[in-house]
Structure formats: C-alpha cells, structure tokens
A and B are shown apart, each in its own frame.
Chain A
Amino acid sequence: MSAITSEHDDHAHDHKPSGIKRWLFTTNHKDIGSMYLIFALLMFFIGGAMAMVIRLELFQPGMQFVEPQFFNQMTTVHGLIMVFGAVMPAFTGLANWMIPIMIGAPDMALPRMNNWSFWILPFAFLILILSLFMPGGGPDFGWTFYAPLSTTYSNDSTALFVFAVHIMGISSIMGAINVIVTIWNMRAPGMTWMKMPLFVWTWFITAFLLIMVMPVLATVVTMVLTDKYFGTSFFDAAGGGDPVLFQHIFWFFGHPEVYIMILPAFGIVSAIIPTFARKRLFGYASMVYATASIAILSFLVWAHHMFTTGMPVFATLFFMYATMLIAVPTGVKVFNWVATMWRGAMTFEVPMMFALAFIVLFTIGGFSGLMLAITPADFQYHDTYFVVAHFHYVLVTGAVFSIIAAAYYWLPKWTGYMYDERLGQLHFWCSLISVNLLFFPMHFVGLAGMPRRIPDYALQFADFNAFISVGGFLFGLSQLIFVWVVVKCARGGEKATAQVWEGAEGLEWEIPSPAPYHTFDTPPVIK
C-alpha cells in the first residue's frame, strides 16, 4: 500500500482553487473537515464566553452584572451552542477528515452534499446568536426548551430559535447520511467490517442515531412553533394537550443525542490508547458490540430525565432498570481500555494525557450518572448542580477532552508539523487542574441543595460558587493555549514523519504528513 501512496505523492498537483473560492465551493473532505473543526473551535469560544458570563454573575450572591432574563438566555444559548455548534460539528469535522482515509476511500461518498451540510451551519448559528439582540432578547427557556415555557410564555425570538434548530438538524442529517454511505460503499477492498478502526465503527453507529433522532427533534420544534404561532395545542392542557408529552418527545431525541456526543469519543480514545501503549486494543469485538448495545439502550431510557414529572411506579421502575443497565456496556469499554494499557509500553505525549484524563474523568461522570439512575435519590439530585456536574464531566472532560486529544493526535498528519510538546503539556495540565476546580465542587453544591439555572443563590453556597467561578475562568483561559499550539503547529515546526507516532497503526499513518490533498485515488490493499 505504501507503494501506491508514495506514487501519489509524486503527482504534487492538487487542483485546488485559491482564496475564498476554495473554501466556499470545496468538495474535498479534508477542506470540509478543517472548516468544521475551525467552526467548532470558534463556537467553543463563543459558547465559552457565555459560560464566563454565567460564572461571573454567580461569582457572588446578589445580582451584579446581568438581569435574570439575560442570565437565562446565556444558559440557554450556551447549551445550544456547545451541543450543536461545538461538540457535534467537531466530531463531524474529525469524521470528514479521518473516515475516508481510515477506510481507504478517495473522499466522502457525497462531496457536494458535504459542502452544503457545512455551509448551512454558520447561518443557523448566526440566526441563533443574533436573536439575542432582539428587543425581547433571545431564547431563555433552557436548551431543553420545555413547553409551555417555550410556547405560550416565550418571547418572539422563538421562531428564530426553531428555524436555527431546523437548519442544524438538516446539516446533521446530511452529514450522517454521508458518513453511512461512505462507510457502507467505499471501504477499500479487504477492509471488512470487523477490520474497521473503532473510530469508524463508533461514527457509523452514531450516524444511525443521528438519522433516527434528529428528525424527532425537528418534529418537536415544529410542534413548539405551531403551538406558539398557529393555534395547535400539542402541549397546552387547555386545548387537550399535555406539557409532559413535550418532555417525552424531546428526551426521545435527547437521550440518544447524549450518546451521539460520546460514542465518537470512545472511538478516538480506542485509537489513541493502543498507539501510546504500543499494544493492540483489548477486546476489539466487544468494543463494537458494547457501542451497539449502548446505542440501542439509548432509545429505552429517555424518561430517566423525567422521574419527577409524576410517572406511575411501573414506568419509573422500567426506566430506572434500563438506565442502570447502560452501566454494563460502558463499564466494558473502560475495562477494555485499562486492559489495553496493562503490560503495554506506554509513553505520555499530549494525546495520551488527554485520553487518560478522559478515562478517569468520564468514568467519574459515569458514576454520577449511575447515582442519578437510582430514582429515589434522583428526586434529590434532579435539577441541581449535581446534574450540572454530571453532564459537564461527561461532556467537557468526556467529549471535549476526546476532541482535544484527537486534535493533538492527528495535527501532525493534518499540518505536516509536530505541535509544540511543551506547550501541549502546559495546556493539558492547566486544563486538567482548572476543569476539576470548575466542575468537581459542583457535586457538593448540588448535594447541598442548589438548584441549577438560577442567577442568584442562598448565602451558604457563596464560597463554593466563588471557587467554581475561578476554576471556570482558569479553564477558559487555558484553552487559549490550545489556540496558540494549533496556530504555531499550522505555521511550521519539526517535520512530521508519515507514521508520526511510534506505535501508530492504520491507513492514516501510511500516507505522508501532511496528508496530500487527494488520497487513495487508487484503493490501497489491506493486508
């Protein structure tokens, strides 16, 4: 296979238009992947800035900087941007860049659709962010937009919110279709299903989840739209509807959505750990099965977000048991990673550091998730900072850490230069310490009884909140180091080899660094 790729390298005429046109009209999976990643990084900082506003207001008791109304808009838009603008596009970017290379395909299956699914995204977020400047302000009902707060009692930006979510949904569905068709049809000869790298597998399953649930999100926002503006009453008791129905439909989307944001992370970690342990991934097959069972179970647990809505005991019990069951395949994954490390020969470059932090901190998030599944205890945890701590452990030290790990892992492949290892380590340690200062005390604050989504709090919570805010500011600042590292790496540095990492295996390490504009025009031969 290396013979084929090096022959390609000799071509050295990449046929790409120059300037803005290249980016606007590109159908190249690497260009689109890069745009997704840069967009996600931008959104990460915008969403992060909103988190800074939240932490600033919560630094001390009393209202200091913003109005409660604006505070609610910040929590809402922060959530929406981080979920739909940062984490999901970042994973889509990684998928675009790496999946065709990993399976030996020349590009994504549907390159023009690929261009579209990226280019509608900025408009969605422009609409969402600009809605904040409307006279009544932007969406303020939480990213979960529970009816009737989002229908009868919402401000006029709701129509824009619905429109923006529709665009995000269409983008995600197109992206997911592209991933499935690429993996299904374009694997190089010999790349059988059970030879695919786990990152490809997890994304394949994620793409199915996306196609199954993003349309349901589209349905529920459409219902909100018609309830608010066109006189339907899906969620209005006066017209025969039921507000709790909203939550059922929303979480039917929402719970698989949670796994959409974590399954690709499992794939990334499953790629990084073996590389730096210089040992094959332990239990490849069980990893695939565990991912699939998590995906299937994710459709059966949605109501664990709704234990306090007043469900009958039998329904509550069903959802409690199903939720606890998810701990089993998730546990299998963690055990497999640890077994991969066992008796390996480990080195600790930045991607490995982030992957190791992922395993520990994601597992802590998993533990609090298990605690939340215990319904009677959930009555105490629900809608408190304990939940905030839980999902930030899963999404920040889980999903975001895995994305950062992936970026460090593949940056040399993308840019052709090694990143600055010392700066990367600095970024890692600053992030690790500050993220725990930020989110760990939230467990205590939640257990002590502080509800989430409040702009002001009782005096007993004051010390902890000040502390958490400091952690938040530090974490935000630490991410500037990351930008520095990426920019520095893109501009030059030590030349990267094709394999980059001593223990790395897979097709992406057999093409030169940086990856040529076109790869695998002739399919590689898989040994």
Chain B
Amino acid sequence: MTNARCLVWSLPTLLFAASATASTSMPLNMTKGVTEISQQVYQLHMTIFWICCVIGAVVFGIMFWSIIRHRKARGVQPASFHESTKIEILWTAIPIVILIGMAIPATKTLIAMEDTTAADVTVLVTGSQWKWHYKYLEHDVEYFSLLATPREQIANKLAKGENYLLEVDRPLVIPTGKKVRFLMTSDDVIHSWWVPAFAIKKDANPGFINEAWTRVDHPGIYRGQCAELCGKDHGFMPIVVIAKDPADYQAWIVQEETRIAAAKAAERELLAMNMSMQELMSTGERVYQGWCVACHQATGGGLPGIFPAIKGSQLVLTDRAAHIDIIVNGKPGTAMQAFGRQLSLKELAAVITYTRNAFDNNTGDTVQAADVFAVQQGKGE
C-alpha cells in the first residue's frame, strides 16, 4: 500500500523527469525560503504533510488489505459486527491528540509572524490595477514597479525570456540582516503581496493597512506575484525584491534620492521647453506600452463594453483640454486612474501627444509639459 502511494506521488515526477526539456525545472515542494520564518513555515508544512502520509498509509493500508482479503470472490462470509464504542472513542481521541500536537508549533510560528515591532526599515506597499507602488517611509523614495516582460512575449511573437512574467522595471530593494516592515494597502480592488521566499502573503485592502515583516539574511533576487484576483491583468503584476547588504542598500537609497530630486528639477526646466513631435511620439509610445496598453490595447481599440477605444475617440479628436484632463485627473468610478501623480510631466505630455496622433487619430498637434502642468495646477485651457 505504501508502495502504491509512493508510486502515485512519484508518478508525475518520473514523467516530468523524462520530459524535462530545456525549460527551467520546477521545484516539487514548497520553498524553504530565505528567512527564519519561512524555514519554520516549511517545517510546519513538512510535519503536517508527513502526519497526513502516515495516517493515509494506515487507513488506506487497512482499506486495501480489506479489499484484497474480504472479497466475495474468495468465498468469505460477511461478519455481522456493526458497532464498538471502545474503538469509536479511540479513533476520535487519537486525531484530537495529533491535532493538538500540530497546533502548538503552528501557534508559535504564527505569533512570531505577527510581531511587527522594532522594525529598521518600513516600506508602504500599494497595489493598484495592475502594478505595485513602493514608498520608503524613512526616505524621499517612492516609485511604481511594473511588469517588464514585453507584450510581444506574452503574445508569443517573441521568444520568452528566462524570467517571463516575473520581471519588473523597478524592483523593491531592501537591506539584508535588518527587520523590514511592509505596510500594505490598495488604491482600488484587493490585491495580495506574495513573496514565497519570505513566506509573506498579505492582502492589500483599499482604505485599510495591513502589516507584515521579514528579515532576509542573504543578498539575492526574490520573485513573487499578486495572489488575489484583481481583475483582467491579475496574472501580470509580479513582485521582484532585491536584498542588498546594508552598505549597498544605503548607496542605493542615496542614488534613488538623487535621481528623484534630479527628475523633479528637470520637470521645472521642461516647462519652458518645447519638445519635438518625434521625441514626444517615441517617449509616448514607450509610456503607452507600459501604462496604457493593458486596458486600451496595442491597437488603441480598447475592449468594447469595458475599456473605451482611443482610436477615433470623440474626446481625443474634438476636446484637447478634456483629453489632457482625463489623463491627468482620471475618471472617478472607472478604471481610468489619475496619471498626473504617477507619471512625470514629460511622460504625460508624451503619452497624450502619442494618443492624439497614433491609431489614425492624426490630430497633428503636440502637448507640451507646460500644458499638462497648467491642468495640474487647475489653470487648464
């Protein structure tokens, strides 16, 4: 019987060992992870797994023994017993004892997981359809983290890369050896931030904050995904965390602060500048591919009944001010977000110009950073 069960367990393994081709091989068990907590979780998982295996082996063993021995074909006469208080009490009591034995370590680990006090670094994680936003509370560093896998790979037009669907443009960076606390929240629907290597899975609820923490001992790149169905592109909002040793982390923070400050300064300069149509269109296309394509599609045709088309849109073709406004301020109550706070002035100007001229819209006009800035300041056309 145990053999039969082993066979059932190993059957898929064998089949895959045989069919293991060039693609990355998949682990067959839960990851041990890279934190003390994740190892405890793995231990709990293995303990309960083996308990189940032993119970299964005993119960199924008796059952199959009975199936083999007590068959009519062997000419046996059925027995007539149908009750035994003693044995019934026994098989109620034994599972209770096993369960208590299991509950104790589970409780200990759970309490340790929930202790978010005395953190060294705190990151506010905000989910939105369909990207993550990270904000370091101790520093002026915040940014969005988007899927970096090109749409062509998803559409099978290009060969898929090694980290297909598990790569982002800007990963989260945390220091090793420090207690990092995550505060989770959401801008729209419920998302769930999951990094298996840390054994963290916590829902990001709109309007509420949740907490989780980790302490990673070794530098490395750890990947995860959104775990709660959050709409169309739920499968396309991965998480990448890079753990760096504290010195590297500090250097990275400084570099990010400088980068963000420089970008802000550049914004001011932009206001006086006129960008060429060509520059706007090429930047705009890049922004469109990253931020707009999920809903409005590569053709600009949207999805009928859900996401409006940009191609031939009356709003785009006839009302330039409204076009700028809807991109900067969004449309409340719909999936159209206020991108004014998410993108830089240059990116906004570029993507508006792009959508005004791509998809046969051909309005021929450009939108400059100053035009966008004016709308942001409430002084639109």
Contact = CB atoms under 8 A, between A and B. Distances in A.
Question: Do chains A and B directly touch (beta carbons under 8 Å) in the complex?
Answer: yes
A341 B203 contact: no
B44 A376 contact: yes
B206 A317 contact: no
Given A137-B306, A334-B59, A371 B229 contact: no
Contacts of A202: none
Given A308-B202, A360-B60, A447-B30, A456 B165 contact: yes
Interface string A120-155: 000000000000001111001110001011001101
B265 interface: no
A444 B28 contact: yes
Nearest to A76: B229
Nearest to A453: B229
A228 B324 CA distance: 28
A279 B230 CA distance: 52
B368 to A, nearest CB: 33
B251 interface: no
A447 B28 contact: yes
Contact of B110 (A148, A156, A310, A317): A317
B72 A377 contact: no
Interface stretch (B92-100, B252-260, B349-357): B92-100
B52 A444 contact: no
A506 interface: no
Q: Is the interface of B mostly helix, strand, loop or mixed?
A: mixed
A523 interface: no
Interface residues of B, number: 110
A341 to B, nearest CB: 5
Nearest to A148: B189
B206 A155 contact: no
B278 to A, nearest CB: 32
B23 A457 contact: no
Contacts of B26: 444-445, 448, 460-461, 463-464
B106 A63 contact: no
A467 B82 contact: no
A359 interface: yes
Nearest to B45: A377
A461 B126 CA distance: 27
B20 A463 contact: yes
Given A345-B71, A379-B199, A280 B192 contact: no
Contacts, number: 314
Contacts of B110: 313, 316-317, 320, 375-376
A445 to B, nearest CB: 7
* Top 3 A-B residue pairs of the complex, sorted by shortest distance between their CB atoms: A237-B207, A136-B305, A454-B235
Interface in A339-377: 339-348, 356, 359-360, 363-364, 367, 370-371, 374-377
Nearest to B94: A331
Contact of B87 (A155, A334, A339, A457): A339
A348 B236 CA distance: 49
A382 interface: yes
B226 interface: yes
Contacts of A335: 59, 91
B45 A371 contact: yes
B140 to A, nearest CB: 27
Contact of B83 (A67, A136, A282, A451): A282
A231 B335 CA distance: 18
10 contacts: A63-B156, A134-B305, A146-B229, A342-B62, A345-B70, A346-B72, A376-B40, A382-B201, A447-B30, A448-B26
Contact of B23 (A308, A342, A360, A463): A463
A479 interface: no
Contacts of B236: 68, 456
B206 to A, nearest CB: 6
A453 B19 CA distance: 26
Interface stretch (A3-11, A219-227, A321-329): A321-329
Contacts of A382: 201, 227
A348 B80 CA distance: 20
Nearest to A376: B109
Interface stretch (A164-172, A238-246, A397-405): A238-246
A371 B184 CA distance: 26
A116 interface: no
A375 B44 CA distance: 10
A377 B48 contact: yes
A309 B192 CA distance: 9
A332 B92 contact: yes
Nearest to B235: A454
A452 B207 CA distance: 25
Nearest to B107: A317
A29 interface: no
A325 B303 CA distance: 48
